[in-house]
Structure 1
């Protein structure tokens, strides 16, 4: 039996560096991990880091992954057992809520039937903004699950709600979701 396939979508947050630890820990748990990055994420961490940790090519655009006849992002969407977006910025949450496909995460989200888990990371005011909260409600109504954010010191210097959830707890939630799916 093959390992469950997890697509980790990394968006442009300073918390993107924590996604490296997340990808490593998911791989150590025996999951097949594929990373998909927005352009903004690549400003914080390189695709090479995730390629090394996941042992798989990293998707950075719709034109990535031209190994077969099927577009790479569609192949991943079809194979996914779970789409995990971590860190998820206010922007990627808005794009997912409104069905936009301007980046590989949005493209895969629209094409997959797999469950979606979102781990937000952003400024606390952005998280609490009515627009973000409306987008979260819309996604939850569609069955998307959220883990976090948590309170603490934020990269912007503020103290408050907006930190990426603890990486070990995200890994545990992924394992629970995949076990429930069996």
Structure 2
């Protein structure tokens, strides 16, 4: 069974990652969800565990005897971070590893796909654009965000594309 890591960051679009998880599992993939602590404020660990059939944690220190911060990235055939926040893109571009997801990204030897979701101003900010360029130069795939309704009444580029 192909192994996918689904990294989920803290943004309102986290709910769409539930559908992405379902699409992966229905197509025969084993999926390990690695959310950030902020992501769990939007969608809880029980939801991710129920949909994936696997334990969920944000901590490097959970099950430390299994060395998850190295093992998860090494065994994945694909890592998808959806939604990828501006914060996560910055951490990934600069090699910051302060939770299980960022550690997993540093140990992944497979393709990594980022699906950004953030307000238009954040997406268009020169710092974010530079971080995206850095990730792409290193071989990561960064999907262009969709245009549409964002948080609240805001609209613009920065919406997480539909999971399908």
Please indicate, yes or no, whether the TM-score normalized by the shorter chain is above 0.5: yes
1:134 is the counterpart of 2:105 = no
1:62 corresponding residue in structure 2: 60
- Written as runs of structure 1 = structure 2, the 5 A alignment for 1:1-182 is 3-66=1-64, 69-168=65-164
Q: Deviations over 1:23-63 (max 9, x none)?
A: 11110000010000111101111011010001111121102
In structure 2, runs of 5+ residues without a counterpart are none
Give the distance between the partners of 2:55 and 2:41, measured in 1 at CA: 18
State the superposition RMSD in angstroms.
1.0
Q: Quick check: 2:58–2:101 contact (8 Å CA) kept in 1?
A: no
Q: CA deviation at 1:94?
A: 0.2
In structure 1, runs of 5+ residues without a counterpart are 169-182
Give the distance between the partners of 2:73 and 2:136, measured in 1 at CA: 20
TM-score, normalised with respect to structure 2: 0.96
Q: Deviations over 1:1-34 (max 9, x none)?
A: xx11100000000001111111111100000100
Q: Quick check: 2:2–2:30 contact (8 Å CA) kept in 1?
A: yes
1:179 corresponding residue in structure 2: none
Give the distance between the partners of 1:51 and 1:30, measured in 2 at CA: 17
**Secondary structure of 1:152's match?**
strand
Q: Give the number of aligned pairs.
A: 164
Q: CA deviation at 1:157?
A: 2.2
Bigger Cα displacement from structure 2, 5-14 vs 154-163: 154-163
